[in-house]
């Protein structure tokens, strides 16, 4: 019998109830860059933040948060992560697309470690381009690349 290379998942809105699961996902995805619990709580409760979770096998397997600023007409993707066992199935793409749509801003920006080839490929595939470098932005002294995408909403 052929092996299935994709699994069933659902995208839903996330809430403060995801606190512990999201904290665990952050550690699995970001290791030394993982947010402390207080930041995880913030991203799950700040009113302006758009947050979505991917659920598979009844567990939190992916998460995205974005912060749209109406005055600046710019949104920042704050975090995006998918658990290792669920990668390369299009979950990050789905989360990113849905977050962009929900924020509905003319410009979306984010930062990524210079060495994070997988994430950079994902963002480039989505039309993000590098607009800045923040030297030594990340723990350990690695540069942060600032990527941006102008959105065309019809
Ligand atoms: C980056 C990350 C979110 C991608 O999640 P994912 O669900 O596996 O991504 P998708 O399956 O939606 O992949 C979409 C595209 O991204 C690119 N991509 C994703 N992972 C890749 C990898 N390991 N190598 C190369 N390209 C990759 C590919 O272009 C892929 O399209 P394709 O499968 O048609 O080639 C995931 O690897 C992750 O959580 N990494 C750790 C946390 C992190 O780095 N987050 C981003 C911080 S800015």
- Measured CA to CA, the distance from residue 153 to residue 68 in angstroms comes to 15
Q: Please give all residues whose beta carbon lies within 6 A of any atom in ligand 1, as ranges.
A: 29-30, 80-82, 87-93, 112, 116, 118-119, 121-122, 125
pLDDT exceeds 70 at position 15 = yes
Residue of 29, 76, 92, 134 to mutate, ligand 1, most atoms within 8 A of C-beta: 92
| Domain boundaries along the sequence of the chain | 10-108
Q: Which atom of ligand 1 is nearest to the CA of 91?
A: 7
- Cα 71 to ligand 1 centre (Å): 31
> Position of tokens 């860059």?
33
pLDDT value of residue 3: 46
- Measured CA to CA, the distance from residue 88 to residue 151 in angstroms comes to 25
Domain 10-108 is in which class?
A: alpha beta
Interacting residues of 56 by C-beta distance below 8 A, sequence separation 6+: 7, 8, 9, 10, 86
pLDDT in tens, 103-149: 999 999 999 999 999 999 999 999 999 999 999 999 999 999 999 99
With cut-offs at 50, 70 and 90, classify the pLDDT of residue 154. confident
pTM of the model: 0.95
- Measured CA to CA, the distance from residue 31 to residue 28 in angstroms comes to 6
pLDDT exceeds 80 at position 32 = yes
| Percent of residues, the chain, with pLDDT higher than 90 | 94
- Cα 58 to ligand 1 centre (Å): 22
pLDDT value of residue 153: 86
């Amino acid at each position: 019998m052929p092996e299935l290379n994709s699994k069933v998942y659902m995208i839903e809105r996330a809430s403060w109830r995801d606190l512990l699961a999201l904290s665990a996902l952050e550690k699995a995805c970001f290791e030394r860059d993982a947010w402390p619990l207080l930041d995880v709580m913030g991203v799950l409760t700040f009113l302006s933040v758009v947050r979505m979770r991917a659920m598979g096998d009844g567990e939190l397997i992916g998460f995205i948060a974005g912060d749209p600023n109406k005055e600046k007409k710019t949104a920042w993707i704050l975090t995006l992560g998918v658990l290792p066992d669920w990668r390369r199935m299009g979950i990050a793409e789905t989360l990113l697309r849905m977050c962009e749509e929900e924020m509905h801003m003319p410009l979306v920006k984010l930062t990524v470690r210079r060495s994070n080839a997988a994430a950079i490929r994902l963002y480039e595939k989505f039309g993000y381009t590098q607009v800045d470098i923040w030297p030594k932005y990340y723990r350990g002294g690695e540069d942060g690349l600032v990527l941006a995408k102008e959105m065309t909403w019809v």
